[in-house]
Amino acid sequence: MLRDSQGHVKGYLSYMSFDVPLILRVLVMPRPAVIIAEPPPTTGFAVMVAAGIRRIPYVYYAADIWADAAGTLDGTPAIVPAVLGFVERLVWRRAAVVMAISPGVEHRIRELCGDSVEVAMIGNGIRVGDFSADGPERGARSTPVFVYAGTVSEWHGAGIFLEAFRRVREVHPSARLEFFSEGSEKAHLEQVVEETGLGGVSFHSRVGTDELSARLRGAAASLACVRPGQGYDFAIPTKIYASTASGTPVIYAGEGPTVSMIEENRLGWAVDYTPESAAEAMLAAIDEPERVGGPQELRRWTEGNASLEAVAARIVGLVERSLSIRLPRRR
């Protein structure tokens, strides 16, 4: 697959470099019991065509609604979300079952397709065992630290935390903000920090789970956000699970199901997508950490609700029930 200098896939030509060979691979590979396809919709379409020729059932993993997201981008011709929507709905309808990543995605698919699509919410998660809530880093730093770990793109809108952090530094001048990120907005965020002279901010490449977990354990809170109105309000950033698996509360700026998940389970602070609200939450994380769950409470919640192994088991059960088959188990 064609990728840019940061390893990201951009533009349909890049996706075509994967989709076209994919059709050929599906046509000649040994016959599987089922094929699992995932976004973009064009890849789902490629699987639909090849699987249809061979009469192999496929299920589709709906991590997002591409047509909705495309419709929010400035300068996008109206035909783009229209075509994407047509392809997306066609792929959903032909699938044996659609697996939705969140309740919001499930609701939107039902809204668009009604009863013509079998859809079930299977959620998302992480390998909880790769993270730990125990370690000497917790409370070891004399200055408050915030960690943003994960992709920074237009729809995340992580720049809100720079303005929020400026307000935090007025109260806690020694506070630090660390980004462990890649993405289309990273260069812009670095430029903002340089031009404004905002101190205490550092940018790093992504690190392994052991180091990331240690960094999170040493933080007052981790940061996550989804810019409202970009077609991704239903998304639940998995960086939240990495934080809670490490026993560290999260500050989330945005809307959607993530808000209730955080508030109902004392995972941290869910606030409006404004610098003022984000700054208030960051100050609360420094001054009133007892308002949210402790390290072991956060860890237990993650083990019970966001384990990738539990999600995989739900997928296997869903596929077996939908297709009346028995999938082989790893010995």
Residues in CB range of 311: below 8 A, 6 or more apart: 122, 123, 124, 125
Rounded Cα distance between 300 and 245, Å, is 8
CA–CA separation, 195 and 189 (whole Å): 10
pLDDT value for 11: 55
Residue 10 has pLDDT above 80, yes or no: no
Residues 101 and 165 in one domain: no
* Domain coverage including residue 111: 12-125+308-323
Same domain, 155 and 281: yes
Give the number of residues written for the chain: 331
Domain check: are 287 and 139 in the same one?
yes
Q: Do 181 and 294 fall within a single domain?
A: yes
Indicate whether 132 belongs to any domain.
Answer: yes
Q: Say how far apart CA 188 and CA 245 lie, in whole Å.
A: 30
Q: What's the structural domain count of the chain? A: 2
Output the pLDDT for position 12. 59
In the β-sheet with 35-37, what is the strand arrangement from edge to edge?
35-37, 58-62, 97-100, 119-121
Write the pLDDT tens digit of every residue in 73-120: 777 788 888 999 999 999 999 999 999 998 889 999 999 999 999 999
| Band of residue 330 on the pLDDT scale cut at 50, 70, 90 | low
Asked if 97 and 59 touch (Cβ cutoff 8 Å), the reply is: yes
pLDDT of residue 262: 97
Whether residue 7 is contained in a domain is answered as no
In a shared domain, residues 285 and 153: yes
Q: Is residue 252 in a domain?
A: yes
In a domain, 166, yes or no: yes
Do 117 and 226 belong together in one domain? no
50 falls within a domain: yes
| Residue 57, in any domain of the structure | yes
In a domain, 2, yes or no: no
CATH of the domain at 40: 3.40.50.2000
**Residue 84 and residue 86: Cα distance in Å, rounded?**
5
State whether 120 and 135 are in the same domain: no
Please tell me which residue, 297 or 236, carries the higher pLDDT value.
297
DSSP of 100-162, one letter per residue? ESSHHHHHHHHHHHGGGS-EEE----B-GGG--S-STTTTT-SS-EEEEES---TTT-TTHHH
Cβ-contact 39, 79 below 8 angstroms: no
Does 238 lie in the same domain as 175?
A: yes
What average pLDDT does range 302-312 have in this prediction?
A: 90
Q: What is the pTM of this model?
A: 0.81
Task: Verify that 273 and 312 share a domain, yes or no.
Answer: no
**pLDDT beyond 80 at 170:** yes
Q: What angle do CA 231, 281, 209 make, to 5 degrees?
A: 70
Same domain, 176 and 315: no
Q: Is residue 169 part of a domain?
A: yes
Q: What is the pLDDT of residues 13-65, one digit of tens each?
A: 577 788 999 999 999 999 999 999 999 899 999 999 999 999 999 999 998 89
